[in-house]
Amino acid sequence: MATKVHMEALSPTMEEGQLVSWLKGEGDDVAEGDILAEIETDKATMELVARGAGVLRAVLLAEGETAEVGAVIGVIAAADEDISAIVDGAGAPGAGAAADAPAAEPGEQQASAVAPKDPGPTDAGAEASGVEETAVAPAGSGDGRLRASPLARRLAEERGLDLASISGSGPGGRIVKRDVEGAVAAPAGAPVVVGAGARAETESVKVSQMRKAIAKRLVQSIGPIPTFYLTIEADVGRLLEARKRINARLESRGEKVSLNDLILKATAVALRRHPEVNASWQGDTIVRYGRVHVGVAVAVQDGLITPVIRDADVKGVADIGREVREMAGRAREKKLAPDEYQGATFSVSNLGMFGIQEFTAIINPPESGILAIGAVEEKPAVVDGEVVVRPRMRVTMSCDHRVVDGAMGARFLATLRDFLEDPVMMAL
């Protein structure tokens, strides 16, 4: 019986997926459980796994193209089985070909998409497996295919290299990580860098699924949400001293905390003190959350993502820092699971490390607010009647006015400022 390969929802917000690469080609034998393709969702790159066995008879979506969730993007069947009805129903190969395809029929087998089994945190692990292999089809290759590991393909893309110009040293001529790294280290002028030395031209860049999701969410935020902004300036001298003392204690463990880790902790405790801010608008109700989950804006190649530090108000600052760095690293590799970047009750965005003095951030619905953290600057300040230079930092809160009123937001920020200016206050 033929098996339709569907584009499946791999995250709660996924409406369509982009086919990164087929790992099987038309005519290849397919066993149940084989990885058929890599799919880019709105937040991560996932793998499409076959449930049925047979031959991949038809590929209905080309690499780089997108299809709506539920669309048929391929067909697995016996070598001599008539699949014309399925192919005709799915339409001609190409973008949107499967978008109008019928849903799976009773008794029909389907392919499913699942998260990567664990590609491994290290490059070495990915290279050593030798199992996952990506096929691309450069012009002029002998059998129409050029073999490359997913890691090699990803590295080549990041470095602007054309895989077709790289010689593979892996089994069967497969291009692996060391080949890409060797190409990067090649002398200037070597024919491996695309456009090296060429004049820059205007180009249209196809947006990723993540960028589409970000754009959609932002339109939902700044438009429908009545937003206003509140700004405070805090003297963070004691906060910097606290970080210094904490890091001295952590030195033997080889760990450090950042100023942002302390800000996240202060924000979480302030939210615990002000549950009316740790809330969201839900149409005819306002939900006040019993737990404090802080989203941390992390810049990634295609935009940004907000890993969630759950129960941040009861965690130690070292634990928060460790968790932030671990998830931020996986976010940049698109390895976060949906439950790791969804479910925040409030968010923090920090551009201080880029020298931004002050900015406003856009609320991530359905949260009621987000903090925009600016850079620490040495400024003159009046202390006990004298002008002294102090490290000061500006914090701007974007507020959903349906949930947070001006006075309510001001009280929350006053508590936060107390914590930033005197971290001991968090213990009271």
The residues, any chain, with a CB within 8 Å of residue 309's CB and separated by 6 or more, are: 264, 268, 293, 294, 295, 296, 315, 320, 323, 324
> 92-147, pLDDT tens digit by residue?
444 343 344 333 333 334 444 444 433 333 333 333 333 333 333 333 344 455 66
User: Model pTM?
Assistant: 0.59
Residue 401 designated active-site: yes
Residue of 6, 274, 293, 401 with catalytic role: 401
Q: How confident is the model at residue 203 (pLDDT cuts 50, 70, 90)?
A: low
Per cent of the chain over pLDDT 70 is: 78
pLDDT digits (tens, 9 = 90+) for 278-316: 999 988 889 999 999 999 999 887 788 999 999 999 999
